[in-house]
């Protein structure tokens, strides 16, 4: 049953779809996928083209609109939008430590989650398209970050369902293994660190002080999680967004208070750190992250905690070595490490499941280069220069491999440009798709 709501400038309608857990066994177990239809107020009954939005992640639910805000400001001029909670997220059948326990042990959980990659998300979307638009209906697609990865999978598996595609910060390397991804990522993250410390030079000493304290005495976060120096370095995730460097600086400003026994990390700081580092609201991001790069034709072996292995090639990220010298302590970025499943209470019950997924080999391919080379769907992409999360060289190589794909390379925005640009990023892509630019 669909439920409609009115917010400032928009009307939203809830949709629930039953889809196969395994699309290769369509008559087997079913799960639910939720989508929120959004249309401009007063246009509910207009015959508008549909725009499917695929959120970043993996394991990210679609944004919750407060009205005609962020990129919806531009999209709703032309489209009826479907914000999809990808399988396992948001109001779709959830996958987290609470629900996965019902499926059995780690082996059963890992087999279940192996069906939550981009290929399954695309097949979900195709079933939903046919139910909303009919077999012959086509919709437009907007993929942000991991949603862009899914867009490439869509163009590989079911381009007949698309009339056009927009990608923001999400052109994956078609032939990049997990090792390749992280080997390229660490230098980008180091550059973001350098830019942060150039902007806030006093943070060098502030970070060293906190790191030195955590080496000697890891702190407890409000949820019971353990803040080690390696976990503290994970705050570097902030450095890939437009305002993240500033947010990190302001968090560091309030790190210390004078307690009964002298200086100690403040509750304000620890609560802020927890808000950034906890995976309670998105555990699939941690559990599935490296598997999104698994493709048997690229690397048939397991991903095997690639970020952790490759990190050893970049000793500048070793906090304890930095503290023994006069070097800045570097933050890390979009890396998932096995010890996260020891320190984060939301992930601890999924430790063995994550290990099994890390050991899993022979992942099915997600992209079909030959089909992409013959692509007929109009595709435009914003490529953010020196994007911390997605390698620019990989993105441009992929752009050359997809027939007809046009890119806009910019350093005006960071990875979150779609969300924070007030519709400007999407507006430019729409104009490019229409031949106006």
- Residue 86 Cα to chain centre, angstroms: 12
Pairing of strands 219-220, 226-227: antiparallel
Find the catalytic residue in 179, 289, 415, 421: 415
Find the catalytic residue in 92, 120, 140, 145: 145
Q: Enumerate the β-bridge partners of residue 30.
A: 20
CA neighbor of 153 nearest in space, from 289, 54, 11: 54
- Residue 127 Cα to chain centre, angstroms: 23
For residue 26, give both structure tokens: 């369509």
* Helix or strand holding residue 252 (H, E): helix 244-253
* Helix or strand holding residue 257 (H, E): strand 256-259
CA neighbor of 396 nearest in space, from 376, 381, 415: 381
Q: What backbone phi and psi angles, to 5 degrees, belong to 56?
A: -70, 175
Is 421 in the active site?
no
| Residue 307, number of CB atoms within 10 A of its CB | 22
CA neighbor of 84 nearest in space, from 114, 117, 113, 51: 51
Find the catalytic residue in 5, 24, 107, 362: 362
- Residue 154 Cα to chain centre, angstroms: 17
Q: Enumerate the β-bridge partners of residue 13.
A: 4, 37
Is 297 in the active site?
no
What SS3 class is residue 185? helix
Is 415 in the active site?
yes
Show which residues are catalytic: 145, 362, 415
């Amino acid at each position: 049953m669909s439920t409609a709501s009115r917010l400032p400038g928009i009307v939203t309608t809830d949709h629930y779809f039953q889809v196969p857990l395994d699309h290769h066994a369509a008559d087997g177990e079913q799960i639910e996928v939720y989508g929120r239809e959004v249309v401009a107020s007063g246009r509910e009954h207009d015959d508008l083209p549909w725009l499917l939005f695929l959120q970043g992640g993996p394991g990210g639910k679609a944004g919750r609109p407060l009205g005609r805000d962020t990129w919806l400001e531009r999209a709703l001029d032309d489209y009826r939008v479907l914000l999809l909670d990808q399988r396992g997220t948001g109001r779709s059948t959830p996958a987290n430590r609470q629900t996965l326990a019902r499926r059995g042990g780690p082996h059963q959980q890992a087999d279940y989650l192996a069906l939550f990659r981009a290929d399954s998300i695309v097949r979900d979307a195709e079933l939903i398209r046919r139910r909303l638009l009919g077999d012959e209906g086509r919709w437009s697609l907007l993929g942000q970050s991991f949603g862009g990865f899914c867009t490439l999978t869509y163009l590989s598996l079911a381009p007949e369902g698309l009339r056009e595609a927009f990608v923001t910060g999400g052109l994956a390397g078609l032939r990049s293994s997990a090792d390749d991804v992280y080997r390229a990522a660490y230098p980008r993250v180091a550059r973001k660190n350098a830019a942060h410390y150039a902007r806030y030079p006093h943070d060098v000493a502030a970070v060293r002080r906190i790191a030195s304290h955590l080496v000697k005495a890891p702190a407890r976060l409000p949820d019971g999680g353990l803040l080690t120096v390696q976990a503290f370095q994970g705050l570097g995730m902030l450095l890939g967004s437009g305002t993240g460097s500033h947010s990190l600086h302001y968090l560091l400003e309030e790190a210390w208070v004078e307690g009964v026994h002298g200086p100690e990390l403040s509750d304000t700081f620890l609560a802020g750190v927890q808000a950034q580092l906890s995976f309670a609201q998105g555990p699939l991001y941690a559990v599935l992250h490296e598997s999104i790069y698994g493709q048997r034709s690229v690397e048939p072996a397991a991903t095997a905690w690639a970020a952790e292995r490759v990190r050893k090639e970049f000793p500048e990220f070793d906090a304890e070595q930095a503290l023994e010298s006069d070097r800045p302590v570097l933050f890390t970025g979009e890396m998932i490490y096995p010890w996260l499943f020891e320190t984060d209470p939301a992930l601890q019950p999924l430790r063995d499941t994550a290990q099994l997924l890390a050991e899993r080999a022979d992942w099915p391919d997600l992209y079909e280069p030959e089909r992409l080379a013959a692509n007929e769907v109009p595709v435009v992409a914003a490529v953010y220069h020196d994007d911390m999360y997605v390698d620019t060289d990989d993105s441009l190589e992929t752009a050359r491999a997809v027939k007809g794909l046009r890119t806009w390379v910019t350093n005006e925005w960071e990875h979150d440009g779609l969300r924070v640009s007030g519709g400007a990023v999407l507006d430019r892509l729409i104009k490019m798709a229409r031949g106006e630019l």
